[in-house]
Amino acid sequence: MHVAIQAEVEKKKVLNENPRIVAFLCKWCAYAGADLAGVSRIQYPPNVVPIRVMCSGRIDTQFILQAFREGADGVLIGGCHPGDCHYVSGNYKTLRRVKMLKKLLPQLGINPERLRLEWINSSEGKKFAKCVSDFVNTLKKLPPMKEVLSDDDK
């Protein structure tokens, strides 16, 4: 489905009060950044549940697609800043995959805004909290993924 049509379709639907986000966070940077948000007691919406991976390079596109299929309203990928990857270049691989997937998602009827890749280092607790808040706000403007999925079934 074309992006514009997609947007139209989604506009008609009810908005999402409580979006659910699966976050894949790399152990060295983004997960540590999320930990820092906790240590600093920076509050953010509870809509996100993290999965810790060694490197953002571990995140297969099939996990992202599976998450959407299971009804995730958004998928957040947190990796090290370019040049900071603990494994040298895993984050660049992720960047490529995410860019490609973002082009394919509209064809599957999924708004590419539902997928977000963020570079968050271990000292960016604030940034992590802000990413989650922003992402939740974006997703609230989109219909629940479950309805998008049931539409497809019709």
Partner 1 sequence: MKRIGVFVCHCGYNIADTVDIEKVVEAISHYHDVVYCVDHKYMCSDPGQKLLQKAIMEKKLDGVVIAACSPSMHEETFRNASKEAGLNPYLCEVANIREQCSWVHKDKEVATEKAIKIVENTIEKVLRNEALFPVEVPIKKKCLVIGGGISGIQAALDVANSGFEVILVERNPSIGGHMAQLSETFPTLDCSQCILTPKMVAVSRHPNIKLYTYSEVIDVSGYVGNFHVKILKKPRYVDPDKCNLCGKCEEVCPQIVPNEFEEGMKPRKAIYIPFPQAVPATYTLDAEHCLGLVPLRCGKCKEVCDQDAIDYDMLPEVVEEDVGAIIVATGYELYPKEKIPEYGYGLIPDVIDSLQFERLASASGPTGGVIRRPSDGKIPKTVVFIQCVGSRDPENHLPYCSKICCMYTAKHALLFKHQVPDGQAFVFYIDIRAAGKGYEEFIQRVMEEDRVIYLRGKVSKVFQQGDKVMVWGVDTISGQKIEIAADLVVLAMAIVPNRTAPEIAKILKVQIDEHGFFKEAHPKLRPVESLTAGIFFAGAAQAPKDIPEAVAQASGAAIKAVSLLSSDKLYHEPLVATRDYELCSGCGICASVCPFNAVTITDEKKSKVNEALCEGCGTCVSACPTGAAQLRNLRDDQISEMIKAILRS
Chain residues in the site for partner 1 (CB under 8 A): 20, 22, 31-32, 34-39, 41-44, 46, 49-55, 57-63, 66-67, 70-72, 86-90, 93, 97, 129
Provide, rounded to whole angstroms, the least separation between the CB of residue 132 and partner 1.
9
SS3 at position 113? helix
Provide, rounded to whole angstroms, the least separation between the CB of residue 134 and partner 1.
15
Q: Say if residues 71 and 114 touch (Cβ distance below 8 Å).
A: no
Between 34 and 110, name the residue whose CB sits nearer to partner 1. Answer: 34
Between 7 and 149, name the residue whose CB sits nearer to partner 1. Answer: 149
Residue 7 CA to residue 99 CA, distance in Å, equals 19
Between 35 and 113, name the residue whose CB sits nearer to partner 1. Answer: 35
**DSSP letter string, 20-56:** -EEEEEETTTHHHHHHHHHHTT----TTEEEEEES-G
